[in-house]
Amino acid sequence: MIEQSSSILSTQVLTMPSRRKAIKTLLSLACIIISCDAFHALKLRTVVTKPIGKNKTRAGGGGGDSLTTSTATFAKFTPTDADVHLHQTLHQLGVRGVASHSNPRGVEVCTTSRSVAGRGAFWSPSSTGSEQKTAQRGDVLAYVPKSAILTLSNIDSMSPSGDTNNKDEALLLTNTFANLSAKSSWPVAFTLYVQTVAQQNEPFREWIESFIGPSPPIRPADSETAGDASENELIYNEAVQSLVSMAQVSEETAKEASVARYKSYTRDWSAAKEFMENTGNTSRCINIDESQFAKLYSILISRTANLGPTYQRDSESKNVLVRGVIPLHDMINHPPPLIEHNVELLTVGDVREMLPEETLQALVGAVFEHDNDLDDRDVLLIARREITPGDELFLSYRNNRANPMEEKERAWTTLQYGFLIQ
């Protein structure tokens, strides 16, 4: 089960043992039933396992005491050049199930006012006639190989483009960032790791450069500055009032959260500078200035997910969360109020705990031809209910949406994502 972090400063275990124990499965030749505290019991035609969740800056999202499962179906629309380029990058990364010109049936990222965020992932919006197919509960919609996931354990991502013989250097880099994460904080290590990948590996660079997210932390108005105190105070006060409005919190809570976020950022930037100074004369030199670091740092915090027990079991430290950014997953929005999420992200290892191997292979085989060599750390996008062509895909960024958040949590999550999750 892969899930999104719910707090900027939190190291909370989101794949909770209690939630894992709550998942009960009933396997047969025809269906799986999954029950857990994050969603109502589902009768799935074939398979569903454990959710990931998370995304980019957007306005919208929400919840309530009663969630519905209906979304409006609409006429097909035309992706922008940026959308087409992203699809090409996803294919290069090995993601399967993404729609293309030759095969319009699949998941498609589109920039459109019909998305709750202005841009999102949709199910087969460009398909017509016999190509149209309603996704059934339990269908595998897309496949993401472990080699495409940005995580400190992905040695492939650390190898320069086209270089298949430099695994020793890649392993050394991976260990370096893992050690930094243990000594400092995961945002420091992960931000520097992603910057390193962007500097030396295609098509990861293409994908990373397409990232958008919340604005970097803003220096509080009472910080000592030289020459620009009045301008900074204006920017800070505007940011505080914006947080008050979006998160529906008091000004005191908004200021408290903003100051804490900035202190956390300055601590992490200091650790990053020290690391870069100590490695500046080695082959592992990283080039990133403060403005670049602040931007990437804020974006990654909003996009990074806890990759769950399958990745945790394979890590050297079994008690440390393994975090990563997953292609395509980072383009799926949180649902608007009163709309229930319609997809989950699960590792192959999660599914193997629930299904016979031949069933798993057949489900993935419906998305693309493969050689039956699926890795437990590969990720599947799975429908949790029927999805008609043209429907936007939604992942829940928060468990128990029917339960309202406390004021401080609303402030933290709004700073993290750039919008209020409900």
The residue ranking higher by pLDDT, 69 or 312, is 312
User: Residue 321 in contact with residue 11, Cβ under 8 Å?
Assistant: yes
**Residues linked to residue 123 through DSSP beta bridges, in sequence order:** 107
Whose CA is closest to 199, among 285, 275, 86? 285
Whose CA is closest to 393, among 343, 325, 326? 343
Q: How many CA atoms lie within 13 A of 122 on its CB side?
A: 35
Per DSSP, the three-state class of 143 is strand
pLDDT tens, position by position, 91-126? 999 999 998 877 788 999 999 999 999 999 999 887
Which pLDDT belongs to residue 191? Answer: 94
What is the Cα–Cα distance from 1 to 312, expressed in whole angstroms?
11
The owner of tokens 């290590």 is 189
pTM (global) more than 0.95: no
> What percentage of the chain has pLDDT greater than the value 70?
74
Phi, psi of 285 (to 5 degrees): -60, 135
Residue 218 lies in a domain: no
Residue 137 lies in a domain: yes
The owner of tokens 């695994």 is 167
Whose CA is closest to 342, among 25, 68, 37, 10? 68
Domain count for the chain? 1
Lowest mean pLDDT among 70-84, 258-272, 386-400, 407-421: 70-84
- Tell me the residue length of the chain: 422
DSSP code, position 140: E
Mean pLDDT, to the nearest integer, of 18-34?
A: 30
Residue 318 lies in a domain: no
Which pLDDT belongs to residue 101? Answer: 76
Using alpha carbons, list the distances in angstroms from residue 291 to 124, 131, 215, 227. 38, 46, 11, 19
Residue 313 lies in a domain: no
Residue 102 lies in a domain: yes
What is the Cα–Cα distance from 100 to 143, expressed in whole angstroms?
15
Whose CA is closest to 95, among 150, 144, 137, 49? 144
pLDDT tens, position by position, 382-408? 999 999 999 999 999 887 777 888 999
Task: Using pLDDT thresholds of 50, 70 and 90, give the confidence band for residue 150.
Answer: very high
Looking at the predicted structure, is the pLDDT value of residue 85 above 50? yes
Whole domain around residue 38: which residue ranges? Answer: 3-147+326-417
What is the Cα–Cα distance from 286 to 303, expressed in whole angstroms?
22
Mean pLDDT, to the nearest integer, of 365-372?
A: 79
The residue ranking higher by pLDDT, 337 or 39, is 337
Which pLDDT belongs to residue 285? Answer: 65
The angle, 0 to 180 degrees and rounded to 10, between the axes of the packed helices 229-247 and 251-278 is 120
Residue 370 lies in a domain: yes
Residue 320 lies in a domain: no
The residue ranking higher by pLDDT, 67 or 278, is 278
Task: Using pLDDT thresholds of 50, 70 and 90, give the confidence band for residue 11.
Answer: very low
Output the domain CATH number for residue 22: 2.170.270.10
Which pLDDT belongs to residue 66? Answer: 43
DSSP for 312-356 reads: HHHSSSTTS--EEB-TTGGGPBPPPTTB---EEEEEHHHHHTTS-
Per DSSP, the three-state class of 176 is helix
Residue 155 lies in a domain: no
